[in-house]
């Protein structure tokens, strides 16, 4: 049973089409969920499986030994850069991923 309700991907048709390498970003705020990913090592390679729904990603991770917990790929239409100990709002979009359990607050 899944007690937490996470939003579905904004466009299920695009799930699996985003670049594998994305910034592992900070922040809890997002504008759109792009997809949920489950990473798994297979034959010495790191592969991911993409899902439009968190519950499907979590189920896949649980049923496949060696799979990592789902991460979420989100789009932020602007974000905060906190490098150098100072906070600066950066306008413009970026796609970033982070652990689902960190919390997800719609921006």
38-68 residue pLDDT tens: 999 988 899 999 999 999 999 999 999 889 9
The count of residues in the chain is 107
Q: How far is CA 41 from CA 38, 49, 67, 70, 98, in A?
A: 10, 11, 7, 14, 19
pLDDT at 22: 85
Sign, Cα dihedral of 69, 75, 76, 80: positive
Q: Which residues of the chain have pLDDT under 50?
A: 1-3
Distance of alpha carbon 72 from alpha carbon 36, whole angstroms: 4
Number of other CB atoms surrounding residue 67 within 10 Å: 19
Q: How far is CA 19 from CA 48, 50, 65, 72, in A?
A: 11, 11, 25, 13
- Interior angle at CA 55, CA 52 and CA 59, nearest 5: 110
The answer to whether 49 and 60 have CB atoms below 8 angstroms apart is yes
């Amino acid at each position: 049973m899944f007690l937490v309700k996470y939003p579905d991907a904004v466009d299920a048709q695009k799930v699996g089409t985003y670049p594998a390498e994305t910034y592992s970003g900070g922040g809890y705020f997002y504008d759109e969920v792009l997809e949920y990913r489950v990473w798994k090592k297979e034959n010495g390679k790191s592969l991911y499986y993409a899902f439009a729904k968190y519950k499907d990603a979590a189920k896949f991770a649980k049923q496949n030994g060696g799979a990592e917990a789902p991460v979420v790929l989100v789009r932020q239409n602007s974000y905060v850069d906190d490098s150098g100990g100072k906070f600066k709002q950066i306008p413009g979009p970026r796609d970033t991923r982070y652990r689902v359990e960190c919390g997800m607050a719609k921006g």
